[in-house]
Amino acid sequence: MRNTLYILIVDDDQRMAKTLKDIFNIKGYEAEVTHSGHDALKMVVKDDFDLVLTDIKMPRMNGVELCRKMRESRPHIPILLMTAYSTDILVKEGLEEGAVIALHKPLDLESLLDLFSSLRKERSVVIADNDYEFCSTLGNILRTRDFAVTHVTDPQSVTESIKSDSHVVLLDMNLDVTSSLMVLERIRERYFHLPVILMTAHQDEIKESIDAAFKIGAYTCLYKPFHIKELFQFLTEIRHKEMKRVLKEAAMRR
């Protein structure tokens, strides 16, 4: 996992794409360039881009169609539109198709770079599981992917271990379901937007409690032993959603 933003620039104007890539590189971001929507679709499936910056008016596949197609293959990656046409009806359509913001050319690069810097790349995860071994191994794997990890083995101290910069809580649902549900409720009360991923080895025994947890607002549930790739997919999805939220808030303020 990269420790900086990884941006895909899509513009049929090669010089526009090149100059943007060079600027982003100098500012410490990684960026790839493509000049067609079709290639962009292939690239977002192959690589873990954090966001896509695409022109709207392009031959064959325009930016709006790209948004539409990406909703099928990579629905959570934030898409930023660029346009030279201020009254373009495609801008409206693109935003309806899920793009988070439409930027006008010439781009206000100062504001765009400010926006990027507000998207934190570093991730912080709280693992709440009374199985110390499990906590430790999962924590080590996450650290290799540049996550900051906090272990909690005592369910009562989970909420105290959550910091303002925590991004995700991985909460174990063991047979003591009442206690787990109470922890989940306390997290929801104090940190409403903080995603909580449940983990359990007792899929069948506690089915009703898992349903109850979803009703309280659990993000998803992983059944042990789960594939680590599955966890990373959820973590990426959560990250993209959070980025979209930050970008949308920024767009509202503009």
Partner 1 sequence: MSKHKSFFSLILFTATAFLMRITNPMIRRLEARSKYLEEIVEERTEKLLETQEQLIRKEKLAVLGQLAGGVGHELRNPLGVMSNAVYYLKMILSDADEKTKEYLDILSSEVQNANQIISDLLDFSRVNSLEREKTVVHDLVFSILSRQPAPENVDLSATIPPDLPAVFVDSRQIRQVLLNLITNAYDAMPEGGKLSIGAHSKNGQVDIFIVDTGSGIPKKDLERIFEPLFTTKARGIGLGLSVSKNLIEANNGKIAVESKQGKGSVFTVVLPTSEVVS
Nearer of residues 15 and 60 to partner 1, judged by Cβ = 15
CB of 67 to partner 1, least distance (A): 20
Which residue, 28 or 75, has its beta carbon nearer to partner 1? 28
CB 6 to partner 1: min, Å: 20
For the chain, give percent helix, strand, coil, nearest 5: 50, 20, 35
Q: Closest approach of Cβ 205 to partner 1, in Å?
A: 56
* CB contact at 8 A, 123 and 235: yes
In the complex, what is the shortest distance from the CB of residue 152 to partner 1, in angstroms, rounded to a whole number? 44
Instruction: Confirm if 66 and 94 have CB atoms less than 8 A apart.
Output: no
Comparison of 110 and 133: residue with beta carbon closer to partner 1: 110
Spell 55-79 as b/e; 16+ CB within 10 A means b.
bbbbeebbbbbbbbbbeeebebbbb
Decide whether 64 or 187 has the Cβ nearer to partner 1.
64
Q: Under the rule (CB under 8 A), what is the footprint of partner 1?
A: 13, 15-16, 19-20, 22-23, 26-27, 84-87, 104-107, 109
Helix (H) or strand (E) holding 46: helix 37-46
Least separation, in Å, of the C-beta of 49 and partner 1?
A: 20
Neighbours of 167 (CB within 10 A): 18
CB-wise, 103 or 196, nearer to partner 1? 103
Q: State the burial class of residue 249 (Cβ atoms within 10 Å of its Cβ: 0-12, 13-18, 19+).
A: exposed
